[in-house]
Each structure stands twice: as C-alpha cells, then as structure tokens.
Amino acid sequence: MATTVHEPPKIDPRRLPDQGHSGNGGWRNLVPADGDLRGTQEYSPPPSSTAIWVVVFAVTMMFAAFSSALIVRKGSSLDWRSFPLPSVLYFNTLLLLASSITLEVSRRRVATFMGGLKSQVKSPARWLYITLFLGLLFVAGQYVAWSQLRAEGLYLATNPSSSFFYVLTATHALHVLGGLGGLIYVIRKLSKSALRRSQLVATTRYWHFMGILWLYLLLLLWMKL
C-alpha cells in the first residue's frame, strides 16, 4: 500500500520567537511575509510625537498640583492678601495668542515648502522668527509684571498669595523658554534642510499647550488672588 508523505508547512523564521532576547517579550518584530515594511512603519509614531505627549502630561500634573495647593492654602489661610493682577499680564496674553497664530501659519508654510512646492513659499522660516520674537516679548512682559509687584512691596515671601503668583508665573515662563529652545532647534534644522515634519508638529503642539495653560493660569490667578 502506498503511503502519502505530507510536506511540513513552511515557517517564516522572521516570525519565530527570539529566544535570545527578552526585551521585546520574546518575539521579534512581526515582518510581513512579502518584506514590505511600509505598512508596519506607518503605525509607529515618531519619537518626538510620543515624547511631547509625555511632557504635556507631566506639566499638566505639576500645575494641577500647584492649583490644588493654592485653593487649599487660600481656604485655610487667615492672612491671605488679595491684590490686583498687573495689567501687563493681559498684554502678555495677547502676545502669546498671537505667537500661536504665527506658529500655525509657519507650520503650514514649512509643510508646503517641505512638500516640494518651494517656488510657492518664500522664506518659510520668517514666521518662525516672528513666533520666536513674540515668545521673547512674552517672557520680558512677565518680568515687567514681577517688577511691578516688587514696586508695590510684594515679594516671593511677602504673603502666600504673592508666593503662588511668583511660583506659577515663573514656572510657566521657564516652560515657555523651553518652547523657545525648541523653536530655535527647528529653525536651525530648517536652515540645514534636515528638519523632520514630526519635529515641527511636536514643537507646535507644545507651544499651543503653553498658550492654553497660560489662559488657565490667568483665570485661576484672577479668581483666587
């Protein structure tokens, strides 16, 4: 009687468990059988995109803690001294909102420039420089606000209310300086034609977040101080 021998199924070695490495859960990257990595790579977010959301989450949690501390401290304080906010803060708010608009314009122009339509866009970095200038004006305006408070005799240790004002506004200004550093990095990369779109998008998201965060802080200070 003839016996039929079945050929064992072929197994793609790239899909086998990687016994020598446990950092990826014991499995190698799943590679399509046809070797086309484009479909797989499209689902992998760039590192800059992932990092910016981590930073946004961390900053949000920090300012949430500050806000809770302010509310609790005012509710239990008998020496809380209210004072009007420096009027320059409202002008600073307009500067920061304007910088978000110019950065968004810049993002679209740079995207068009990087898309191969260079003839339709002239000096795509110009709007980045405008955004950088407005951001520097915002930080300078915050310094003016602190100077006005010092002229009124309100320092960091004068009262719990002034302490929270200095801590919240100074911490936000430091994060704005970090955003300005990101803008300088983007401008340098653009000048060398080495800018990645994900880097510009990440910087834009962070800057818009700084604007939204400042609106929240201004409202909080106006209501509680």
For residues 94 and 105, membership in a common domain is answered with yes
Over range 143-152, report the average pLDDT.
96
**What local confidence, expressed as pLDDT, does residue 117 receive?**
56
Summarize pLDDT for 74-130 with one digit per residue, the tens.
988 888 999 999 999 999 999 999 999 999 999 988 888 776 655 555 667 899 999
**Same-domain pairing of 142 and 192:** yes
Say whether both 33 and 124 belong to one domain: no
What pLDDT does 76 receive? 86
Long-range contacts of 190-199 (CB under 8 A, 24+ apart): 190/110, 190/124, 190/125, 190/128, 191/125, 195/110, 195/114, 196/46, 196/48, 197/111, 197/114, 198/46, 198/48, 198/49, 199/48
Indicate if 98 and 35 belong to the same structural domain: no
- Res 112: pLDDT: 80
224: closest CA among 59, 76, 75, 61?
Answer: 75
4 and 82 share a domain? no
The residue to which tokens 């200038």 are assigned: 133
Please write the tens of the pLDDT for every residue from 17-74: 444 444 444 434 444 444 444 433 444 457 777 899 999 999 999 999 999 999 999 9
Rounded to an integer, what distance in angstroms lies between the CA atom of residue 204 and that of residue 208? 6
Q: Say if residue 53 is in the same domain as residue 36.
A: no
For the record, the structure tokens of 39 come out as 């479909």
Residues 57 and 29 in one domain: no
Structure tokens at 103: 């950065």
For residue 94, give Cα distances in angstroms to 86, 130, 209.
Answer: 14, 14, 15
Q: Which region holds residue 18: left if phi is over 0, alpha if psi is between -120 and 50, else beta? A: beta
Q: Do 96 and 188 fall into the same domain?
A: yes
Q: Are residues 36 and 88 in the same domain?
A: no
Q: Which domain holds residue 24?
A: 1-45
- Does 191 lie in the same domain as 208? yes
Number of domains forming the structure of the chain = 2
> According to the model, what pLDDT value does residue 45 have?
58
Residues 95 and 187 placed together within one structural domain of the fold = yes
- Residue 151 sits in a domain whose CATH number is 1.20.120.80
Average pLDDT rounded to a whole number, residues 159-174: 97
Domain co-membership, 27 together with 91: no
